[in-house]
Amino acid sequence: MDKYKISGAVMEKIYENILKLYNKKQTFYTKTLLNGNIGEKTIIAANDLKEIGIDISKEKLPQIVKDQDNSYFIESINDIPTVVIVGGGHVAVAIAKLAEFLEFNTVVIDDRAEFVSLERFPYSQRIAERVDRALQQDFGDNAYYVIVTRGHKDDFRAVLAVLQKKYYRYLGMIGSKQKVGIIRQKLHDKGYENTQIDNIHAPIGLPIGAITVEEIAVSILAEIIAIKSAFVGDRTQNNVFAALEEIVVGKIQEKAVVATIIEKHGSSPRGVGSKMLVTQSGKIFGTIGGGAVEYAAQKRAVQIIAEKTAVIEEYDLSPQDASKLGMICGGRVKVLFELVN
């Protein structure tokens, strides 16, 4: 177990800055020191990840990285991912409804205002503009682009616009093999490499034999979920950040600790990146898995508030030690406890 006293006032200021970025719905990252001055936290941008050896197009976050002297926990402090639907037809309506049900932000783009009406997309950001111009907007690094326009010309414009973006998670295009072949050839003619073109999901969606527009929407969102899960760890951030907001604005006037799973081996209920916030009175927001582990972590968090320390604890769920916690999952988790205020 590592300990290091760190000022609650300093941590509160850091979390204030994190909340500001979080509420702007921007993708950003934090780098937390796990040894020495444990809990020392830095906010970093996507460009900074390459300097510490992380390629977010290929690697899953959160993760622990090491240099010669230190270990760091790198995580994405992310808003809800955004599905950007290019084209406002009947397939787009079904995709938007399902994406909203799955708690994605949604944006719908079409140059025909009547196709991006409030009636058709009541919960989406609606943009009535030529698709390539609309796609010049920044929809964040955690964006998933779904191209379902009415014709080859707009498909090509949309694909080109997305390919010019520095960061995005997914680009998929609906269409027949013939249409996909035409777009691929045009991209070749524009000088795009096979590796770039092959990253376009076309035909779009998982091959589930979808026929109706609703089934097509399911196949597309299933593919997006698969991509999202490959890069983003198990996170329980929304309730935690809502509680942090209340602490910052003074609605919750208690000391608090954030507990985050930073390492997992074997089977356990929650994954790396899962969070919970525990107040001085023991109230919990979010979860790191429930059961006896969460109960033990809750009790430890209250102690940490009194000790004013940042702490890493390990909970062993292997059969020989599981009886201590009343669980038989068979794994081990490390939990980082950080003071909030």
pLDDT digits 0-9 by tens, 240-290: 888 888 887 788 888 999 999 999 887 666 788 889 999 999 999 988 888
pLDDT band for 1, please (50, 70, 90 cuts). very low
User: 44 and 169 in one domain?
Assistant: no
User: 222 and 87 in one domain?
Assistant: yes
Q: In the chain, how many domains are there?
A: 2
Domain boundary among 209, 231, 253: 231
User: 274 and 259 in one domain?
Assistant: yes
Residue 239 reports pLDDT greater than 90: no
Q: In 10 A of CB 53, how many CB atoms?
A: 11
DSSP 3-state percent helix, strand, coil across the chain (nearest 5): 40, 25, 35
User: 95 and 68 in one domain?
Assistant: no
User: 173 and 126 in one domain?
Assistant: yes
Nearest to 233 by CA among 290, 276, 274, 277: 274
Average confidence (pLDDT) over 36-50 = 85
Residue 238 reports pLDDT greater than 80: no
Residue 330 reports pLDDT greater than 60: no
Structural domain boundaries, residue 255: 2-77+234-339
User: 270 and 325 in one domain?
Assistant: yes
Average confidence (pLDDT) over 132-161 = 93
CATH classification of the domain holding 111: 3.40.50.720
Element (DSSP H or E) covering residue 29? strand 28-33
Average confidence (pLDDT) over 121-141 = 94
Residue 130 reports pLDDT greater than 90: yes
Residue 164 reports pLDDT greater than 80: yes
Least confident of 70-84, 103-117, 172-186, 310-324: 310-324
Nearest to 244 by CA among 118, 339, 317: 339
User: Could you give the CA distance from residue 214 to residue 95 in angstroms, rounded to a whole number?
Assistant: 8
Give residue 269's pLDDT.
66
Domain boundary among 213, 231, 249: 231
Long-range contacts of 249-255 (CB under 8 A, 24+ apart): 252/279, 254/279, 254/280, 254/281, 254/283, 255/8, 255/279, 255/280, 255/305, 255/339, 255/340, 255/341
Least confident of 84-98, 196-210, 277-291: 277-291
User: Could you give the CA distance from residue 269 to residue 336 in angstroms, rounded to a whole number?
Assistant: 17
> Residues 59, 51: contact at Cβ < 8 Å?
no
User: 227 and 203 in one domain?
Assistant: yes
Q: Rounded to an integer, what is the distance from CA 235 to the centroid of its chain?
A: 8
Sheet with 41-44, side-by-side order of all strands: 41-44, 28-33, 71-77, 63-66
Give residue 292's pLDDT.
80
Place of tokens 């209250």: 302
User: 172 and 61 in one domain?
Assistant: no
User: 161 and 127 in one domain?
Assistant: yes
Nearest to 83 by CA among 111, 124, 112: 124
User: Could you give the CA distance from residue 165 to residue 289 in angstroms, rounded to a whole number?
Assistant: 37
User: 89 and 60 in one domain?
Assistant: no
User: 86 and 225 in one domain?
Assistant: yes
The pLDDT mean for the chain works out to 86
User: 147 and 23 in one domain?
Assistant: no
In order, the DSSP letters of 285-322 are EE-SS-HHHHHHHHHHHHHHHHHTEEEEEEEE-SHHHH
Domain boundary among 188, 211, 231: 231
pLDDT band for 4, please (50, 70, 90 cuts). very low
Q: Rounded to an integer, what is the distance from CA 13 to the centroid of its chain?
A: 23
How many Cα neighbours within 13 Å face the side chain of 318?
7
* 3 token code pair: 């300990």
Give residue 60's pLDDT.
73
User: Could you give the CA distance from residue 216 to residue 259 in angstroms, rounded to a whole number?
Assistant: 39
Residue 294 reports pLDDT greater than 60: yes
Give residue 22's pLDDT.
82
Nearest to 335 by CA among 268, 270, 271, 260: 260
User: Could you give the CA distance from residue 144 to residue 41 in angstroms, rounded to a whole number?
Assistant: 29
